[in-house]
Structure 1
Amino acid sequence: MRFKDVFSIIGPSMIGPSSSHTAGAVRLGRAARRILGGMPERADILFYGSFASTYRGHGTDLALVAGLLDLQADDAGIKDALELAEEAGMSVNITASALRPAHPNTAQIRLRRGEREDTVTGCSIGGGNIEVIGVNRFDVKFTASYPTLLIFHGDRPGVIAEVTDVFRQAGANIGYMEVDRKSRSGDALTVLEMDGPISGLWTERILRLPDVRRVCLIDLAAKEE
């Protein structure tokens, strides 16, 4: 497990009664927005477990939509998130599932923006921290606590070596890596958590590599590009 700073242990500055149900949900929404590449036109949110039974009382629905609007956890606008989403042209549909999830505070977020559609499944694990456990039917795990790259690519020998060589040449250090694939020689997803900010030049170089189809940058500490 990578070290967490003392403020993530104490808890975040936030609006709302629960760091798990509000601050964590905001963070999950912001991470999902980064994966999509901007504000969604449509968001279908499915809550599981404790989220499903208490989201209205704890404002989890408002918090997650606020995250999709890229609001911070301490933004007073969270209470008006549904109205703000409607004004911004975002269609929101929220449902609850009776299925028992692996973690009680779990949400599946299906987003659409133009022709792009992404499905992100994540958990709020306490103290405003999150863990994303699935992206577009890939089983991967990351926390979005560090600058993170999602690299969608074909599964062929040498792709991961070519990707990591980009960072070797840049003198950048990879703190965590995970790979999942849908089938042998099919589609794959590589997740890289970096120890420092990620330059747009790096992502451009990775995009030019053979069999790399898409790159998503998640850096919640940086301004959205």
Structure 2
Amino acid sequence: MTTTTKTNVEHKKWSWSKFNLAAAPYVFASPFFISFAIFGLLPIVFSLMLAFGQWDSASSITSFKWVGLSNFQFIFTEPEFFKSIYNTFWIAIVSGLPQHFVAIPLAYVLHTQVKRLKHFYTAAFLVPYITSTVAISLVITVLFSERSGAINQFLLYLNQFPLFDWLIPDKTGENYIKWLYEKEYTKPLVCLLVFWRYFGYNMILYMAGLQTISSDVYEAAEVDGASK
């Protein structure tokens, strides 16, 4: 009796420790999977459900109605949808390509030429990328508002001089540029913001790529007579 009891106890202890050893990785990884399920997977599933249904967000979820492909039929027959696609591609090209034309030479200069304050300049160029979108929106609204915006006030001041009287065209009977309301100004302004926000991020990526190149490659290229 005694021998059997000790054997069972030892067997149970061995099984429990083995279970702990096998379950430990899942326990440590569970916070990620739980957060991903709540904040990643659940929104995706809910968005797919809304794509094939109709639901008034002010009402309860019980008011959800299945409409099938009606939402997609409405989108692809709506002219504003194709206009938004065109604007998206236009902004992506106009603001995306110049980012790399500036980021590549800037990364090269910081990597090879700048020795002092390199980390300071790198952080300064990266600040727009890590700045809150809400903060950027508020600053842009203050700067480019129609009447009290700092940009329009500065242009009005320059407009007093004959050399700069063309800066603010009087199209609407008021000497203000509607930066945030007229598409001829809004689209370039959005492109400028996208460029300003992301060129530092691209510069960091190119700098990381340059830093992975061994110095032997540069020395061999210099011996072979390669230019900068």
Q: TM-score, normalised by structure 2?
A: 0.21
1 or 2, which has the higher helix percentage? 2
Q: TM-score, normalised by structure 1?
A: 0.21
Q: Which has the larger radius of gyration?
A: 2
1 or 2, which has the higher strand percentage? 1
